[in-house]
A and B are shown apart, each in its own frame.
Chain A
Amino acid sequence: DQQVKQNSPSLSVQEGRISILNCDYTNSMFDYFLWYKKYPAEGPTFLISISSIKDKNEDGRFTVFLNKSAKHLSLHIVPSQPGDSAVYFCAARRNAGNMLTFGGGTRLMVKP
């Protein structure tokens, strides 16, 4: 029962171009969404989040878009840099709980 899905296991992008990572969810009780970045042999680090009452949140090179009707969110990174190469996890929180449900991750490779 995968309530949060990241259908692309990997993505390769040229340095300077835009990276778009996608995430779909099924549970309409989710009210808060987060993106985490993970390097090998390290723990996930929080990147950016969005509340379900918004459709866009921007922080520097990172922007998260939320389409509630489609139960879809995306993370845009522009311009992409080689240091952005990592695994990106989408996560969602229910309004009646505190734990996060994670997607399977997308491995982003930014080529110089």
Chain B
Amino acid sequence: NAGVMQNPRHLVRRRGQEARLRCSPMKGHSHVYWYRQLPEEGLKFMVYLQKENIIDESGMPKERFSAEFPKEGPSILRIQQVVRGDSAAYFCASSPRTDRRELFFGEGSRLTVL
């Protein structure tokens, strides 16, 4: 199965800890997007990356959140010093190129902050 792979599927952290969410795009896809879904809400764009580059981070909170997509390995969304309001489902999506309009989503990582 060459779908978008996210791990962990579920992550529990205490306030103040760090959360790292990983995303491996579909084979042949070099564009990665991170979205967040808060309870009972829609998906909110966070960041768009290509290999080794952040293209658009207009949806990222200014503090504590960072994302990378290294030359080798998965994309990582990092949340430092988590707070209860960070509890959400974080979805990664990928596409093969910019002219491909639909995005292919992973199953998400559900972060719970105690």
Q: Which A residues have a C-beta under 8 Å from some C-beta of B? A: 6, 32, 34, 36, 41-46, 49, 89, 93, 97-105
Contact B103–A102 (Cβ < 8 Å): no
Residues of B within 8 A of A (CB): 4, 6, 31, 33, 35, 41-45, 48, 55-56, 59, 91, 93, 95, 98, 101-108
Give min CB distance, A44 to chain B, whole Å.
5
Assess the A98–B91 pair: CB atoms within 8 A: no
CA distance A99 to B101 in the complex (A): 9
In the bound assembly, the distance between CA atoms of A101 and B59 in angstroms comes to: 11
24 sampled A-B residue pairs with Cβ under 8 A: A6-B42, A41-B108, A42-B107, A42-B108, A43-B4, A43-B6, A43-B93, A43-B105, A43-B107, A43-B108, A44-B43, A46-B102, A46-B104, A49-B101, A93-B101, A98-B31, A98-B55, A98-B56, A98-B98, A99-B56, A100-B45, A102-B42, A102-B43, A104-B41
Task: Give A99 to B95 CA distance when docked, in angstroms.
Answer: 10
> What residues of chain A lie closer than 8 Å to B6, measured between beta carbons?
43
Chain A residues, Cβ within 8 Å of B98: 98
Among residues of A, the one whose C-beta sits closest to the C-beta of B104 is A46
Q: Tell whether, in the assembled complex, residue B105 and residue A45 are in contact, meaning their CB atoms are under 8 Å apart.
A: yes
CB closest chain-B residue, reference A44:
B105
B56 contacts across to A, CB distance below 8 A: 97-99
* Minimum distance in angstroms from A104 CB to a CB of chain B: 4
Q: Please give 10 more A-B residue pairs, beta carbons under 8 A apart, in addition to A41-B107, A44-B43, A99-B33.
A: A43-B107, A45-B105, A49-B102, A89-B43, A98-B31, A99-B59, A100-B45, A101-B45, A102-B42, A104-B41
